[in-house]
Homo-oligomer: A and B are copies of this chain.
């Protein structure tokens, strides 16, 4: 479905983006209520814009709304995060396969650039930068696959488990292991080897799901 144009108002999109960032950064914690007037004051916008932004986020699954009661940050359980990763694996496997089949010099250069960013982030043990580069890699693969629906579907699923992913990525030794798998994925795509690219991705996805399960075993989140 391509990129959404001027969905509602420009202002509402800005507020939605700010809220997304806030939720991802745990500035707003799961269960926290989000009264429209408070957000309106905080962002210097009208209640209507906030309202539209909340509707958007509710549709994405980031917040929960109840009639005449209000919006609150939705708690995403570990099992749901695992389900999410499972669906993402299916779609991303398709993406990297297609990307490997269609790769050109320009695309390969882009992927290798992201690979260098991953390497740099891992060297510095910068979890946030690594997460950003990982996100960039996923987006690039989706775009290079030329599969619009896959791209949109992934975009929608990505926002949901940012919080949990951060916790998995923070576990000791994760960055090094993730880096090697991501590099294998990038190189496989660049040399036009769909099977190897898919395998590298699947390997990483399973590791993510295992990490999420370990998280769930240690402490329940919702």
Tell me the chain A residues, 1-34 only, with Cβ under 8 Å from chain B. Answer: 1, 4-10
Given A80-B148, A83-B150, A149-B80, residue A5 in contact with residue B55 (CB < 8 A): no
| Interface stretch (choices A85-93, A112-120, A121-129, A187-195) | A85-93
A65 to B65, CA, bound (A): 24
Q: Which of B52, B55, B149 contacts A83 (CB 8 A)?
A: B149
Main secondary structure of the interface of A (DSSP, over half): helix
- A86 with B149: CB separation less than 8 A: yes
State the number of copies, please. 2
CA distance A140 to B61 in the complex (A): 22
A55 touches B52 (CB 8 A): yes
A→B interface (CB under 8 Å) = 1, 4-10, 52, 55-56, 58-59, 61, 64-67, 74, 80, 83-84, 86-87, 90-91, 94, 147-150, 152-153, 156-157, 160
List 5 additional A-B contacts (Cβ < 8 Å) besides A6-B67, A86-B94, A153-B153: A84-B149, A87-B94, A87-B149, A90-B94, A156-B156
